[in-house]
Amino acid sequence: TRPITLLGIESSCDDTAAAIVRANGSRGEILSNVVSGQTDLHAAFGGVVPEIAARAHAEKIDLMVEAALAEAGVSLGDLDGIAVTAGPGLIGGVLSGVMCAKGLAMGSGLPLIGVNHLAGHALTPRLTDGLAFPYLMLLVSGGHCQFLVVESADRFHRLGSTIDDAPGEAFDKTAKLLALPQPGGPNVEREAESGNPKAFALPRPLLDRPGCDMSFSGLKTALLRARDGLIERDGGLRRGDRADLCASFQAAVADVLTAKGRRAIAAYLEREPAEPVLAVAGGVAANATIRHQLQTLCAETGLRFTAPPLALCTDNAAMIAWAGIEIARLGHVDGMDLAARPRWPL
Ligand code: KG4
Ligand code: ZN
């Protein structure tokens, strides 16, 4: 296969991102990868506000594309196509990206490739590690939680997913309940370091049920009850309580992911992969306790464990450009009727 160079555009949540990726055979090279976050814009609201996000994407997206081209030292004429996240996500943001990509494709005559954001995450370990199909992927972030067998660039077998909150969301809500700053994940993890993970017996939801589906919203409710119990008994949280609550919460999340991960691995191994691998991606994969338990599980079950570098685990456009390359190689190209989809299951 000849080298192929794509521009990727991502704007489905609260990051406006553009990247240039070149692929030569099975190897991918990131020529540029720029991202503009919106955390400050949404900070006062305790979550992403769709209307504010859409405006910020519309404002920033052209700048990001220009920056990605400049940083890579290429112009539109050097590209083979334009890949853009066409969903799932906040529709205003997705539309900003799709409109921008359509404009560029129309002006340049380059092919347009719509990419599923989740496929972007799921295919990243091929860009960073050249993983062979099929591999097992745990996608665990503020918006997603699923175990996937990645069979090809356009075939994903979902073994299970959360039936309510994503773990990152649960970390963020836990931080809020305990008056810790956002984003919750890293702050809850830091607080948990000095806590006792066995201090509170929080539930491990759905472990009594077969399959790989998960639930995290009950955990948050249990934590709230534990917190209020302490406040009622002691008149407030005492020194060490917060750390114990964080540690107990984190242990519960890690246990659920590990127990369901064990089942996912068993289902994956039935396919007899030549080189069994578990790849993790998403912001929550940065958590050391969760990572450690999954690594131990992989060692026990004979899988290699891998995680892309954090900047490629969280939302970015390099993963969209790369997925676009893989999809284009399968012969899929979109027309000007490419739709922005708020929901788009893999
Ligand atoms: O992948 P990501 O950047 O964005 C999406 O959700 O798409 O993930 C962000 C989420 C947030 O909920 C954040 O609290 C969580 O990942 N997170 C963590 C850690 N670092 C980030 N959760 C647990 N432990 C961490 N160290
Ligand atoms: Zn994402």
pLDDT of residue 52: 80
Separation CA 342–CA 346 (nearest Å): 13
Tokens describing residue 239: 């020194």
Query: H helices within 180-309, ranges in order?
Result: 184-192, 217-234, 241-269, 288-301
Separation CA 161–CA 91 (nearest Å): 22
- Using DSSP's 3-state secondary structure scheme, residue 15 falls into strand
pLDDT mean over 284-297 = 96
Per-chain mean pLDDT for the chain: 94
314 in contact with ligand 1, CB cutoff 6 A: yes
Tokens describing residue 229: 């119990």
| Pairing state between β 27-37 and 15-24 | antiparallel
Q: What is the pLDDT of residues 113-133, one digit of tens each?
A: 999 999 999 999 999 999 999
Separation CA 259–CA 38 (nearest Å): 35
241 pLDDT band, cuts 50/70/90, is: very high
pLDDT mean over 280-292 = 94
pLDDT mean over 51-72 = 91
Asked if residue 283 has pLDDT above 80, the reply is yes
What CATH number has the domain spanning 4-129+312-329?
3.30.420.40
Per the CB < 8 A criterion, the answer to whether 178 and 227 are in contact is yes
Nearest CA to ligand 1 atom 18: 185
Q: What is the pLDDT of residues 182-211, one digit of tens each?
A: 889 999 999 999 999 999 999 999 999 999
pLDDT mean over 334-343 = 96
Q: What is the pLDDT of residues 312-331, one digit of tens each?
A: 988 999 999 999 999 999 99
37 pLDDT band, cuts 50/70/90, is: confident
Separation CA 313–CA 295 (nearest Å): 17
8 in contact with ligand 1, CB cutoff 6 A: no
Separation CA 9–CA 329 (nearest Å): 18
pLDDT of residue 183: 85
pLDDT of residue 40: 78
Q: What is the pLDDT of residues 65-79, one digit of tens each?
A: 999 999 999 999 999
Tokens describing residue 255: 């246990």
Tokens describing residue 338: 């490419």
Q: What is the pLDDT of residues 244-261, one digit of tens each?
A: 999 999 999 999 999 999
Q: How far is the CA of 72 from the centre of ligand 1 (A)?
A: 28
Identical fold, 4-129+312-329 and 135-274:
yes
Q: How far is the CA of 84 from the centre of ligand 1 (A)?
A: 23
Asked if residue 53 has pLDDT above 90, the reply is no
pLDDT of residue 148: 97
Ligand 1 binding pocket mutation candidate from 171, 220, 316 (most atoms within 8 A of CB): 171
pLDDT of residue 275: 95
286 in contact with ligand 1, CB cutoff 6 A: yes
ipTM exceeding the 0.85 mark: yes
Per the CB < 8 A criterion, the answer to whether 118 and 320 are in contact is no
Domain boundaries, the chain: 4-129+312-329, 135-274
pLDDT of residue 302: 98
Asked if residue 46 has pLDDT above 80, the reply is no
Task: Quickly tell me which residue has 């660039």 as its tokens.
Answer: 153
176 phi/psi in degrees, rounded to 5: -65, -45
Per the CB < 8 A criterion, the answer to whether 206 and 320 are in contact is no
pLDDT mean over 91-110 = 97
- CA of 281, closest atom in ligand 1: 1
Q: What is the pLDDT of residues 142-156, one digit of tens each?
A: 889 999 999 999 999
Domain 135-274 part of CATH 3.30.420.40: yes
